[in-house]
């Protein structure tokens, strides 16, 4: 299985006069990990997750390394696009625009598998059933409810059996029961795969009692935030 190790990672966002800096002093994702990131709106949670999902490059990093099967990939240096690694090893449920509106339900559901070269319609059918998703394969995204779209985004992100499952507020549009079913399914799939699971959430009740390690993004100086551990989930 794969693991991701980061030390002294830094990313700076600039836009005219606006400047935002995020530091990640130490963060790891290993098989079986369950981690959740909290933080107030705009604190830098998505920026942290984009880095950890290899969706953007850190500006600097003392160490940013992906290890798998005795091999190590140095992610700290260079500006190489890690798309092939991302496609195979990562499942990322984006907070905004998680689906392609010009693709059908079925095409969206199978996109992650196609990019990873792992087609298996049985896995998709099983995930849809577990998540209570029963839309017809040719349904257009515009004809799905917000909640159906959110669950479909999860199917797309995990159907290729990734080693790292990252979800940015995956239950934001769901009622409490559907949110719990979604989390249960993602936890079960992560367990079945031996994957690491990283979630951003605003809902502390949702993750309580599932043995998550808690992290938070805090602004410790104006425009300068840090991802750091919080207390262990004791519930």
Ligand X SMILES: Nc1ncnc2c1ncn2[C@@H]1O[C@H](COP(=O)(O)OP(=O)(O)OP(=O)(O)O)[C@@H](O)[C@H]1O
Q: Which residues bind ligand X (CB under 6 A)?
A: 13-15, 18-20, 39, 41-47, 95
Minimal distance, residue 22 CB to ligand X, in Å: 7
Between 46 and 163, name the residue whose CB sits nearer to ligand X.
46
Residue 203 CB, shortest distance to ligand X, in Å, is: 12
Q: What share of the chain is helix, strand, coil (3-state, %, to 5)?
A: 30, 30, 35
Residue 16 or 122: the one with the smaller Cβ distance to ligand X is: 16
For residues 148 and 141, what is the distance between their CA atoms, to the nearest angstrom?
Answer: 9
State the Cα–Cα distance between residues 61 and 160, nearest whole angstrom. 29
Q: CB-wise, 18 or 79, nearer to ligand X?
A: 18
Nearer residue to ligand X within complex by CB, 40 or 140: 40
List the structure tokens of 214.
């808690």
- Beta strand pairing call for 2-15 and 164-168: unpaired
Q: How far is the CB of 43 from ligand X (least distance, A)?
A: 4
Closest approach of ligand X to the CB of residue 63, in Å: 22
Distance between CA atoms of 116 and 37, rounded to whole angstroms? Answer: 27
Render the burial of 190-220: b for 16+ CB within 10 Å, e for the rest. Answer: beebebbbbbbbebeebbeeeebebbbbebe
């Amino acid at each position: 299985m794969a693991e991701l190790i980061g030390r002294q990672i830094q990313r700076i966002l600039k836009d005219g006069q606006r400047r935002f800096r995020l530091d990640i002093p130490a963060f790891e994702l290993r098989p079986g990990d369950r981690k959740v990131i909290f933080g107030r709106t705009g604190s830098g949670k998505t920026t942290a997750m984009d880095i950890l999902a290899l969706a953007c490059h850190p500006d600097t990093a003392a160490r940013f390394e992906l290890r798998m099967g005795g091999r190590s990939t140095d992610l700290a240096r260079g500006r190489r696009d890690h798309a092939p690694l991302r496609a195979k090893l990562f499942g990322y449920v984006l907070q905004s625009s998680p689906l392609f509106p010009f693709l059908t339900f079925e095409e969206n559901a199978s996109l992650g598998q196609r990019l990873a070269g792992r087609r298996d319609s049985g896995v998709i059918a099983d995930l849809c059933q577990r998540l209570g998703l029963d839309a017809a394969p040719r349904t257009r995204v515009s004809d799905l409810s917000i909640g159906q779209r959110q669950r479909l985004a999860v199917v797309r992100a995990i159907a290729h059996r990734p080693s790292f499952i990252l979800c940015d507020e995956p239950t934001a549009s769901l009622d409490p029961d559907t949110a719990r079913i979604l989390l249960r399914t993602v936890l079960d799939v992560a367990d079945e795969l031996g994957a690491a699971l990283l979630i951003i959430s605003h809902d502390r009740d949702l993750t309580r009692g599932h043995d998550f390690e808690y992290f938070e993004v805090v602004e410790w100086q104006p425009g300068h935030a840090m991802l750091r551990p919080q207390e262990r989930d004791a519930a």
